Structure 1
Amino acid sequence: MEAKINYTKIPITEALIDLRIKTPVDGGLISLNNFGHQIQAEYTRKDEIVRLENKINIGQGATFASANQSVLGYRFLSPDDKQIVQARLDGFSFSRLAPYQKWEPFRDEAQRLWDIYQIATDSKTVSRVTVRYINRLDLPLPFNDFKEYLLTVPEISPKISQGLSDYFMQLQIPQEDVEAMLVLTEAIIPPSDNMISVLLDINLFADVDFDSNRHDHWRLLETFRIRKNEIFEGCITDKTRELLK
């Protein structure tokens, strides 16, 4: 069942939809630039997405290092830097940074941009579908145990000291009913005054083989959106919910 709690203090710092394609973009960077020209009225800044490869060659008593650089695609940003589109040779992503409001306008803009990307690149098959939500939870001090606010936390042996000043935890949890994988990451991030801030990163993805001209990937994204809400609610306590009201 979908969680339907509405919060006034939305903790989402970034929401992302990512669609990978099965084969590299037909036309390469020319096609990606064509995509950029079609959205430049709304996304006015363009940056290259670059991959650096370092090579070390050892031989005859000498070591030689070299670096190769290749452009994988482009990032296009809205004037306020709150919305980011990645057009890559291996796929597309759309991000919304805080303040995030709700799913529908986020999804609709991602779908509008994907339609332009799909036509500009003639991409025929979607090979991976991802929804990722990064949340920042500011927990007021003092408190005795993270379990006051979070239900998914590191478990410390009772035979050692229970004090915890920092942690990073990542869990990979199969979502068998939707044939997907959840990567759940929690970490303490730099706090503000009288607060401990915890990153709660919910990443849902599935490897697929979808015709990009159909809407199977968007139906799966709707399923992921519901599951993401269930996971978030399953990770927090009522005390955290009170902070977000």
Structure 2
Amino acid sequence: MTDKNELEALNNDDEVFEKPPIKEAVIVIRFESKACSLDLIEEVVKELPEKYSFGEISALSGHSINFTVGKSGNSSLKEEVDRLGIKVTSEKLNLVVQFKRNELVVSKLAPYENWREFKEVGKEIWELYASKLSQLEIKQINLRYINELEIPLDKGRVELSEYLVNEPQTPEGMPVDVCNFFSRVDIPYDEVNAIAVVLQAFKKTNGEYISVILDFNIHSVESEVKLDNSNIWSLFDEYRRIKNKAFLGSITEKSKEMFRCLPQH
């Protein structure tokens, strides 16, 4: 449930839903640091606050295959495993954090409470990680929200235009029914040096409803304004406002009724 502080933090044209369709919210910070190592990441993980109840710890690995040809003409394939970092999981708080040598990824899985709390989690973990890094340069930040709309079927059919502002359309003269769809638009926001990527896609049907994914990913682009710890969190606030505008602009009033339990203030 969204608290009073969250309501007051929203713009006037935003609306808070008590049961939002958010499946995952993600904060990503990509960086360069010559001092980052797996030993350093292990040190950071040991210092994570106990309040997050991170119980499951696993290695993040990447695989590569090298193809070589010897002088005799014989060839060989060799698979190599590269340790990329560490992933920690809190089942109690539905949090997943990935520490990589050039990236921090903080994910909040459903149920999602509110931005204020999620932002504070991401900020606290990043500040701990950043405090261990020397010659730190932040290269990019991302804020991503993956929503799943479960739209009820009526006798096996549904008018998607009743739920989606930009419903999939077939070419003129062809059947209007579709069994799959995917769309993507990239929208520049020059005032905050970012691009909002909006994805809309069919996921599945079970005979009672169909699932539609609305995926909003706002990421920074290179500019003269350098990213650092003094400005990234205010930028994340701006990205969230862009995400809210994209979400509310993608769904109809009928969709909002499925998530709306709190009155507007």
How does the TM-score come out when normalised to structure 1? Answer: 0.90
Aligned to 1:16: 26
2:32 paired with 1:32: no
Structure 1, 99-108 or 122-131: larger mean CA deviation: 122-131
User: CA offsets per residue over residues 155-193 of structure 1, 9 Å max, x none?
Assistant: 321122211011222222222332211221222113344
Cα–Cα, structure 1 residues 101 and 65, in superposed 2: closer, same or farther, change >3 Å?
same
Residues 28-60 of structure 1 deviation map (CA, whole Å, 9 limit, x = unaligned): 111111110001633222111111112344687
1:51 aligns with 2:70: no
2:136 corresponds to: 124
What is the aligned partner in structure 1 of residue 247 from structure 2? 232
State how 1:76-91 maps to structure 2 within 5 Å. 76-80=88-92, 82-91=94-103
**Aligned-residue CA RMSD (Å):** 2.2
Kept in 1, the 8 Å contact 2:33–2:133? The answer is no
**Greater share of residues in strand:** 1
Equivalence for 1:141: 153
2:198 and 2:217 in contact (8 A); partners too: yes
Per-residue deviation, 1:75: 0.8
Q: 2:179 aligns with which of 154, 165, 169?
A: 165
Q: 2:191 aligns with which of 173, 177, 185?
A: 177
Shift of 1:106: 0.3
Say if 1:74 and 1:86, in contact at 8 Å, map to a contact too. Answer: yes
Q: Distance in 1 between matches of 2:230 and 2:207?
A: 46
Contact 1:126 1:217 (C-alpha < 8 Å) held by counterparts:
no
Matches within 5 A, 1:198-217: 198-208=212-222, 210=226, 212=228, 214-217=229-232
Structure 2 unaligned segments of length 5 or more: list them.
Answer: 1-10, 261-265
Structure 1 consecutive aligned stretches of length 4 or more whose deviation exceeds 4 Å: 57-63
AA matched with 2:147: N
Partner residue of 1:66? 78
Report the secondary structure of 1:55's partner residue: strand
Mean Cα deviation higher: 214-223 or 141-150: 141-150
Alignment CA distance shift 1:57-1:168 (3 Å) = farther
Distance 1:89 1:27, change over 3 A: closer
Structure 1 unaligned spans of 5+: none
**1:100-119 superposed matches below 5 A:** 100-119=112-131
8 Å Cα contact 1:25/1:89 also seen in 2: no
